[in-house]
């Protein structure tokens, strides 16, 4: 399954995901569509218009656009927090595990979660 994000500038978005988050380009279609992936996760990017108000409301309410289930979240957090990435919610411990949120250049909120192991 691959969510599709509408982005204003496909080159800028591809650069963000590949350079800041370590994704790789799976394919590009002309100058408006691309697929990227990392560690079995994939996202499709499509040039288009989205409602800025919707992005602002999602941010205000911390409505997540995608959640990545990860291992070794502390190491991932250290690597990402040293880059030019907008941190929405710093690494924190919750009842269900550890998590942090970032925003991509178009305001999509990406969550990274390492779930607690249930004995």
CA distances from 108 to 34, 43, 58, 100 (A): 17, 12, 8, 14
**Averaged confidence pLDDT in the chain:** 93
Q: Are 44 and 34 in contact (CB under 8 A)?
A: yes
Kindly report, residue by residue over 19-49, the tens digit of the pLDDT.
Answer: 999 999 999 999 999 999 999 999 999 999 8
φ and ψ at residue 16, rounded to 5 degrees: -60, -55
Q: Are 42 and 58 in contact (CB under 8 A)?
A: no
pLDDT, residue 97, reads: 96
pLDDT above 80: residue 119 = no
CATH number at residue 87: 3.10.180.10
CB half-sphere exposure, 21, CA atoms < 13 A: 27
- Cβ atoms within 10 Å, residue 28: 14
Number of domains comprising the chain: 1
Structural domain of residue 102, as residue ranges?
A: 4-115
- The span from the CA of 52 to the CA of 64, in Å, is 16
Q: Are 115 and 67 in contact (CB under 8 A)?
A: no
């Amino acid at each position: 399954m691959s969510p599709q994000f509408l982005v204003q500038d496909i080159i800028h978005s591809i650069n963000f995901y590949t350079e800041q988050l370590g994704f790789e380009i799976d394919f590009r279609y002309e100058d408006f569509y691309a697929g990227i992936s990392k560690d079995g996760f994939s996202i499709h990017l499509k040039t288009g218009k989205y409602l800025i108000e919707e992005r602002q409301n999602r941010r205000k309410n911390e409505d997540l656009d995608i959640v990545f289930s990860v291992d070794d979240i502390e190491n991932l957090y250290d690597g990402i927090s040293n880059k030019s990435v907008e941190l929405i919610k710093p690494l924190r411990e919750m009842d269900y595990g550890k998590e942090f949120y970032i925003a991509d250049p178009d305001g999509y909120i990406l969550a990274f979660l390492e779930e607690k192991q249930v004995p």
